[in-house]
């Protein structure tokens, strides 16, 4: 009897790679059968079939998955709790000619959400104000002074986007002052909600929409869909004021969805696929200027949004003018947009310098916590005076990547307070435990998502806060880290890594959170060249038995297990695991492998 292959069975017998990871086949026997059926019944390639089957797509679902249509995936926005009163209040503002103030967060999702809502309301004839708080002087979320200023400038309604769901006192005070507040958020919500006119948040406990995977811009987009429909019913749209095509705004939804690292599945995946098509048309002056400033080469892909455009918009909120990103996205003038994009690009370079120094200090402190064998502690927490509060989230992310466990980085302000961010690993909910810390008085405020959270606490509470994190998360972290592994989709040779294969793979994209990039293995290829690139990267070449070669790149690997493995295996046969990416250096159209792991052939 043939032994059935279980999900996650060892791939190429690699039980322990050169970085200490097990290679696991993403497909079990059932998924292998589905992949074979896709090849035989649908005529799909073996690689594409394995990618789809490995992500739970059935034969019947394959066609719809490869060509997702927004109309098939779009829900009725009114399934979101409180959407009806939110839309009615917005519609009242439109027909009464009331000014609307929009308050957003200082990250990419916040900037895109502000731009979306302002653009949508302006198309309906509404005069809008918007405000994004300064991270240093105002902190996260609505504050009374900013909302009062908008009210004093004439706003009869204030809409908070990508924030507000935990701002009880601020919302209550503004509502008491006679200004209605509508909250459009997506963060994990407390049991008791602010007393706003409406609180639309798919992650509030009594929301049954099943849309908790949306970013804030996705929530705002659904709000505009519902608002335009309501205005249509009211006869608001005319030949002089035509109803706007909201599909043209999906460029902003796509950018926010990728940058906020929400799951790229279902509706979100459709948002990003259609949004990328719009971005490639280069119609929005702000995004066109930002792409040029980012030196984006070729058609925009999902990773460009997360690694080129997103960080530059974020740079304004991190170390510069918090509202610069939103203003850029709304800017109609070509030359003004170029100037703003140049500012953001310069700020991003400054951010990189600041980040490098902070990461070096953070890693040194983290090493003291985990010990020489890096086995101590379930949650890392680093802090320092002089750290820039706008960059601590990036430090936490680097520490999480380096040490493979949830990590926090806190900036001490010298006045007894610490502000920072945490980043998590799959299976460990940081947002929940931070909210629990706030409820127990260990933190002043905090919350977020499962994978990312922000927190503010008194400096003398750092040690108790860290102890609380350890006590609450140690078991689940141990479970999540007990068997580090790399999930493999398929094996190919250097000859098989062609531009045509990349185009085939892209049909299953875009890839991201909860829809991971395919990982391929080059079995028994000789590592023929290894050279350092920049401060921490390695570039290399692999040769197959038939003499065909493929270039490789390994990012931020110098001084780490992967880098040491690559340098020690020069001119030797190795198994190579990684992602296939375009290599357009010098105008050529080739494929390279972004190396994730290395193993000795058995």
Q: What is the CATH number of the domain that holds 413?
A: 3.10.310.30
Average pLDDT over residues 540-557: 95
Q: Give the pLDDT confidence score for residue 414 in this predicted structure.
A: 82
Tell me the pLDDT tens digit for each residue of 154-181: 999 999 999 999 999 999 999 999 999 9
Same domain, 225 and 102: yes
Q: What is the CATH number of the domain that holds 274?
A: 3.90.1640.30
Same domain, 497 and 452: no
> Does 80 score more than 70 pLDDT?
yes
Domain that holds residue 57: 27-67
Q: For residue 13, say if its preceding peptide bond is cis, omega within 30 degrees of 0.
A: no
> Does 584 score more than 90 pLDDT?
no
Tell me the pLDDT tens digit for each residue of 504-536: 999 999 998 889 999 999 999 999 999 999 888
Same domain, 290 and 267: yes
Average pLDDT over residues 104-131: 97
Q: Which of 233, 257, 300 is nearest to 116 (CA)?
A: 257
Average pLDDT over residues 88-102: 98
Q: What is the CATH number of the domain that holds 541?
A: 2.40.50.460
DSSP string computed for 117-150: HHHHHHHTT--EEEE---TTTT-SS--HHHHHHH
Q: In the chain, how many domains are there?
A: 4
492 is a domain residue? yes
> Does 2 score more than 60 pLDDT?
no
Same domain, 142 and 186: yes
Same domain, 231 and 270: yes
Confidence of residue 297 (pLDDT cuts 50, 70, 90): confident
> Does 149 score more than 80 pLDDT?
yes
Pick the more confident residue, 107 or 484. Answer: 107
**Contact between residue 434 and residue 408 where contact means Cβ atoms under 8 Å apart:** no
Q: Give the pLDDT confidence score for residue 195 in this predicted structure.
A: 95
Mean per-residue pLDDT over the chain, rounded = 93
Confidence of residue 55 (pLDDT cuts 50, 70, 90): very high
Same domain, 62 and 109: no
Of the given ranges (177-191, 550-564, 583-597), which has the lowest mean pLDDT? 583-597
**Contact between residue 340 and residue 284 where contact means Cβ atoms under 8 Å apart:** no
Pick the more confident residue, 250 or 141. Answer: 250
Same domain, 291 and 436: no
Q: Give the pLDDT confidence score for residue 319 in this predicted structure.
A: 84
Same domain, 144 and 98: yes
Q: Give the pLDDT confidence score for residue 25 in this predicted structure.
A: 95
351 is a domain residue? no
Tell me the pLDDT tens digit for each residue of 211-269: 999 999 999 999 999 999 999 999 999 999 999 999 999 999 999 999 998 999 999 99
Which of 481, 500, 516 lies at the terminal end of a domain, its last residue?
481
Cα first-last separation, the chain: 26
> Does 6 score more than 80 pLDDT?
no
**Contact between residue 403 and residue 484 where contact means Cβ atoms under 8 Å apart:** no
> Does 485 score more than 60 pLDDT?
yes
Same domain, 61 and 113: no
Same domain, 224 and 146: yes
Q: Give the pLDDT confidence score for residue 586 in this predicted structure.
A: 63
Average pLDDT over residues 17-28: 94
**21 CB-near residues (< 8 Å, 6+ apart):** 484, 485, 486, 597
Which of 430, 461, 481 lies at the terminal end of a domain, its last residue?
481
Tell me the pLDDT tens digit for each residue of 389-434: 989 999 999 999 889 899 999 999 888 999 999 999 988 999 999 9
Q: Give the pLDDT confidence score for residue 397 in this predicted structure.
A: 94
Cross-strand bridge partners of residue 308: none
Cα–Cα distances in Å, from 2 out to 5, 28, 54? 9, 14, 21
> Does 3 score more than 60 pLDDT?
no
Which of 432, 461, 481 lies at the terminal end of a domain, its last residue?
481
Same domain, 515 and 436: no
356 is a domain residue? no
Same domain, 423 and 507: no
Spatial separation of the C-alpha atoms in residues 435 and 431, rounded to whole Å:
6
Spatial separation of the C-alpha atoms in residues 541 and 340, rounded to whole Å:
40
497 is a domain residue? yes
Q: Give the pLDDT confidence score for residue 373 in this predicted structure.
A: 67
Tell me the pLDDT tens digit for each residue of 370-394: 876 667 889 999 999 999 998 999 9
348 is a domain residue? no
191 is a domain residue? yes
What percentage of the chain exceeds 70 in pLDDT?
98
At 446 the three-state DSSP class reads strand
What percentage of the chain exceeds 90 in pLDDT?
84
Q: Give the pLDDT confidence score for residue 533 in this predicted structure.
A: 93
> Does 5 score more than 60 pLDDT?
no
> Does 50 score more than 60 pLDDT?
yes
This prediction's pTM: 0.90
């Amino acid at each position: 009897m043939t032994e059935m292959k279980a999900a996650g069975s060892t791939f190429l017998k690699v039980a322990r790679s050169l970085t200490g990871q097990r290679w696991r086949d993403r497909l079990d026997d059932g998924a292998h059968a589905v992949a074979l059926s896709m090849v035989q019944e649908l005529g799909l390639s073996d690689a594409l079939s394995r990618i789809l089957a490995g992500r739970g797509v059935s034969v019947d679902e394959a066609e719809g998955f490869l060509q997702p249509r927004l109309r098939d995936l779009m829900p009725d926005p009114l399934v979101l709790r409180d959407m009806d009163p939110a839309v009615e209040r917005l519609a009242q503002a439109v027909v009464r000619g009331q000014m609307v103030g929009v308050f957003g967060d200082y990250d990419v999702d916040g900037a895109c959400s502000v731009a979306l809502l302002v653009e949508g309301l302006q198309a309906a004839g509404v005069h809008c104000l918007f405000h994004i708080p300064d991270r240093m002087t105002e902190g996260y979320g609505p504050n009374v002074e900013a909302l009062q200023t908008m009210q004093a400038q004439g706003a009869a309604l204030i809409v908070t986007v990508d924030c507000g769901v935990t701002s009880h006192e601020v919302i209550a005070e503004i509502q008491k002052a006679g200004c209605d507040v509508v909250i459009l958020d997506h963060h994990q919500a407390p049991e008791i909600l602010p007393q706003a006119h409406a609180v639309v948040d798919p992650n509030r406990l009594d929301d049954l929409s099943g849309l908790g995977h949306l970013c804030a811009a996705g929530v705002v987009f659904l709000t505009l869909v519902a608002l335009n429909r309501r205005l249509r019913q009211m006869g608001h749209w005319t030949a002089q004021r035509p109803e706007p095509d909201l599909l043209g705004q999906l460029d902003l939804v796509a950018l926010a969805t990728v940058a906020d690292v929400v799951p790229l599945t279902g509706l979100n995946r459709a948002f990003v696929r259609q949004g990328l098509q719009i971005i490639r048309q280069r119609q929005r002056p702000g995004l066109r200027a930002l792409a040029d400033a980012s030196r984006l080469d070729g058609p925009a892909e999902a990773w460009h949004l997360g690694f080129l455009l997103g960080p530059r918009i974020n740079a304004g909120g991190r170390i510069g003018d918090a509202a610069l990103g939103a203003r850029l996205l709304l800017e109609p003038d070509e030359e003004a947009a170029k100037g703003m994009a140049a500012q953001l690009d310069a700020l991003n370079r400054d951010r990189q310098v600041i980040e490098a120094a902070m990461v070096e200090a953070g890693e040194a402190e983290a090493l003291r916590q985990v010990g020489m064998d890096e086995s101590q502690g379930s949650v890392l927490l680093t802090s320092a005076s002089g750290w820039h509060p706008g960059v601590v989230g990036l430090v936490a992310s680097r520490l999480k990547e380096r040490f493979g466990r949830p990590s926090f980085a806190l900036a001490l302000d010298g006045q007894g307070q610490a502000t920072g961010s945490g980043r998590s690993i799959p299976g460990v909910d940081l947002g929940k435990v931070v909210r629990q810390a706030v409820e127990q008085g260990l933190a002043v405020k905090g919350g977020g998502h499962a994978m990312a959270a922000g927190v503010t606490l008194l400096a003398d509470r750092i040690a108790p806060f860290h102890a609380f994190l350890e006590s609450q998360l140690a078991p689940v972290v141990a479970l999540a880290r007990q068997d580090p592994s790399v999930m493999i989709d398929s094996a190919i040779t250097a000859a098989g890594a062609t531009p045509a294969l990349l185009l085939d793979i892209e049909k299953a994209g875009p890839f991201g959170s909860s829809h991971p990039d395919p990982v391929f293995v080059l079995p028994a290829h000789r590592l023929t060249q290894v050279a350092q690139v920049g401060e921490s990267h390695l570039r290399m070449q692999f040769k197959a038995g038939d003499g065909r070669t493929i270039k490789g790149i390994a990012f931020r690997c110098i001084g780490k297990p992967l880098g040491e493995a690559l340098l020690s295996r020069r001119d030797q046969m190795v198994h190579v695991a990684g992602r296939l990416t375009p290599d357009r250096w010098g105008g050529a159209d080739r494929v390279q492998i972004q190396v994730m792991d290395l193993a000795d052939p058995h």
